[in-house]
Amino acid sequence: MPDLPSTPRYITTVAPVRDVRLVGIGDLAFWQQYLHVLPLVPYALNGTAHVIISSTDFVWQRIPVQEFVLSLVVALPHDPTTPAGFYLVHAFNSSRLLALIERVFFQTPYTHGQTQNTAAPPASITLTTAQRTLLQALMSPNAVPQRHTDEPWEGRIFLPVRAPGKQRAQPYFFAKFTGACAIYPWTAADTLTFLPDQDDPVCACLQASHFQATEWRVHNNASHARSKTYTMPW
């Protein structure tokens, strides 16, 4: 894989972004099988895969937008203990039009759905589709941040391959995240519930991988940028 350019060309930047993330771990064998047709493997640390649930709220072109993303930290097969970026498992956008644009023009796995989040403690994430609450995460009212940090990140977001048996190119785009972050440890007083819905890729993957939350990451005033979608032969 070529090195990350020193100055990727970002075509879209949105700010401010309210971004509430739930970081956790899942079964390594499940995610290895999930990615087996791709030139990627789960980032393996302490024998587990690392998963992120993210709910964001921002304004794009004067349109209020909410997005929900399930992603997996991934690595290259020859170096599974070094993160190479994130794999975008599935995503929802509150705008049907923007979800369609994402699928058609950027090859991203977006569908229509509603997400809500609360950044002020207690933080929360809710995902709703077709008037059903698929997922809800609630922070304890007594939560105290473990630490505060400025958390910049720049790298690749890898995307699903539309025809794994025929398409021999891995799509991806560059992304950049910046903004102060409050980190809260996941406690027994926090709750995460989701429907055992095999038709929904988010719920199906969380259930099958035995997802366990480990911490919250809350951004009240973040900035997100992205490039166009590229392809990497393999």
Cis ω before 16 (30° cut-off from 0): yes
DSSP character at residue 79: B
Backbone φ, ψ for residue 109 (5° rounding): -85, 65
Check: pTM over 0.95? Answer yes or no: no
Hey, where are the domains in the chain? 12-233
Task: Work out the percent of the chain whose per-residue pLDDT is above 70.
Answer: 94
Question: What tens digit of pLDDT does each residue of 108-156 get?
Answer: 999 999 999 999 889 999 999 988 999 999 999 999 999 999 979 999 9
Q: What is the mean pLDDT of the chain?
A: 92
Rounded Cα–Cα distance for residues 41 and 84 (Å)? 10
Lowest mean pLDDT among 12-21, 86-95, 198-207, 218-227: 198-207
Q: The tokens 């922070």 sit on which residue?
A: 139
> What pLDDT, on a 0 to 100 scale, did the predictor assign at position 23?
98
Are 134 and 90 contacting, i.e. CB atoms less than 8 angstroms apart?
no
Cα 107–Cα 74–Cα 111 angle in degrees, nearest 5: 30
End-to-end CA distance of the chain: 9
The residue-averaged pLDDT of 22-28 equals 98
Question: What tens digit of pLDDT does each residue of 163-211 get?
Answer: 655 656 889 999 999 999 999 999 999 999 999 877 889 999 999 999 9
> From 3.40.1670.10, 3.20.20.70, 2.40.400.10, 1.10.1040.10, which CATH number describes the 12-233 domain?
2.40.400.10
